[in-house]
A = this chain, B = another copy of it.
Amino acid sequence: MAVRALIFDVFGTLVDWRSGVAREAEQLLAPYAPQLDGGAFADAWRARYGPSMETVRSGARGYVDLDALQAESLPAVLAAFGIDGVPEAVLADLVLAWHRLDAWPEVPDALVRLRAAHLLAPVSNGHVRLMVDLARRNGFTFDAILGAGYSRDYKPKPALYRDAVAALGFSASETLMVAAHSLDLAAAAQHGLATAHIARPREHGPAGGETAPGVPVTYAAADLADLARQLGV
């Protein structure tokens, strides 16, 4: 079946979360932690992302958005780095660092090419406003914002993939999940979606990133421009 719609993971796949969070943390925390290693701080904060989402995925509590989860995680990250005395307003601004991330270099142009032939929507664990802010900052044009906000749950729960397919109205096999993370693609494939892996060897900075899919995929691409070429756009 021809691909009609592309749905995207965002953090790591379309935007470079580590560099952006590192930059913002170093700037905002400079008065409280002048020697901060922003990359290490970003890694530590990101490490709490999975467990914090699990409190929602497990049903232990109702849906709360990623800003709320990141805000909850932040005090422990600060403590781990020995940082204290940060005013509430700075903490709130630091949570918004996740709204101020830059795209990987080829992404904006590749999205324009892809959108000429396909419907595009993020299916991220980020909520609507977070996606809107990243899209505005980076010049992304999406047809819709799906994902955690739309489904009130977090990937890899089935609702996110199923709701995205239903919302865009093509068959699952005409809907292509695009991600730099094999676990996300494996979950999408379980629901019949086509899958595209994007190599992001620098996602985790010195710790690397997935250079190739660890699961069977429909497309494996070096970057989003390569995926566009493989799709013939």
* Residues of A in contact with B (beta carbons under 8 Å apart): 119, 127-129, 131-132, 135-136, 141, 143-146, 149-150, 167-169
Contacts and interface: CB of A to CB of B under 8 A. Distances in A.
B119 A132 contact: yes
A146 B144 CA distance: 9
Copies of chain A in the complex:
2
A225 to B, nearest CB: 23
A150 B150 CA distance: 6
A132 B128 contact: no
Nearest to A170: B129
B129 A135 contact: no
A168 B128 CA distance: 7
Contacts of A135: 143
Contact of A146 (B128, B141, B143): B128
Given A128-B144, A128-B146, A132-B144, 15 more contacts: A119-B132, A128-B167, A128-B168, A128-B169, A129-B167, A129-B168, A129-B169, A131-B144, A132-B143, A132-B168, A143-B145, A144-B144, A144-B145, A145-B145, A150-B150
Nearest to A146: B128
Nearest to A128: B167
Contacts of A169: 128-129
A132 to B, nearest CB: 5
Contacts of A150: 149-150
Nearest to A135: B143
A146 B145 CA distance: 9
Nearest to A143: B132
Nearest to A136: B143
A169 B128 CA distance: 9
A152 to B, nearest CB: 10
Interface-central residue, A119, A141, A168, A169, by most chain B CB under 10 Å: A169
24 contacts: A119-B132, A127-B167, A128-B144, A128-B146, A128-B167, A128-B168, A128-B169, A129-B167, A129-B168, A129-B169, A131-B144, A132-B143, A132-B144, A132-B168, A135-B143, A136-B143, A141-B141, A143-B145, A144-B144, A144-B145, A145-B145, A149-B150, A149-B167, A150-B150
